[in-house]
Amino acid sequence: MRPDTIVLVHGFWVTPRSWEHWISHYEAKGFRVLAPGYPGFEVEVEALRADPTPIVDLRVPQIIEKLEGVLDGLDSKPIIIGHSAGGAFTQILLDHGYGAAGVALNSAPTEGVRVVPLSQVKSTFPVLKNPANHHKAVPIEYDQWKYAFTNTFPEDESRALYERYSIPVSGRILWDSVLANFQPGKQAVAVDYHNDDRAPLLFVSASEDHIMPPAIQSSNAKHYKSKTITELKHYEGYPHLLPAAPGWEAIADEVLEWALDHAK
């Protein structure tokens, strides 16, 4: 049966508001579109900036539990599209048996992907430079936002998006993701790369992405050894913030078409 629902999963430093254009775009095509926030993210961007307690308390297992609760409430399997950290969460959800097809846009890596480009180090250094940030919600300064998210945008658009979308990030989750490959046993972002029952998965990479560059997407995709479809699509000239980048409509349409063609 053709999926009639799309679930959009946001990444770090932003909220479901970052999907605002994609929500209306897909709804205009007749789809039911859900964009759940992380636990405590039911408030607006401005409220999270004023009181970042929900960000400080954030943990990956609770995020996955909430997303799975949303999916459990659906009558049929949806298409799941995740951006950045949401791409890693999309991979986890598919591995857990959810979704008819999944798309990971500029995805954060799942456990075992050890590629760490210098641009990623520079993008996350303001958080990782101080171990004390492990217990904090760390704001993103504009210069960091410009480098990591909107490096291809005109200055005025970049600043406008910073004001509209940006929130602090959980230092704990970012630190834990860095340490995941160096700790014994499965960590929070582990998946079974040999899971033949997983729904088809498309990775999307962008040539100008500094924080989750193409090398990460390529390595993550190559880790999958299952018989289930895993493909990689690359876009030239795009930055990390794909959901708001000029030309996003074409990407939204192309990944949706892929998901519909491969849904099971």
58, 22 contact by CB (below 8 A): no
- The two tokens of residue 145 are 């936002």
Give CA–CA dist 129/136, Å, rounded. Answer: 13
pLDDT at 132: 53
pLDDT digits over 205-234, tens only? 999 999 999 999 999 999 999 999 999 999
Q: Which residue has the higher pLDDT, 200 or 119?
A: 200
pLDDT digits over 21-49, tens only? 999 999 999 999 999 999 999 999 999 99
Q: Which residue has the higher pLDDT, 187 or 217?
A: 217
From residue 261, alpha-carbon distances to 38, 130, 201, 256, 258 in Å are: 29, 46, 12, 8, 5
162, 150 contact by CB (below 8 A): yes
pLDDT digits over 58-96, tens only? 889 999 999 999 999 999 999 999 999 999 999 999 999
Share of the chain above pLDDT 70, in %: 87
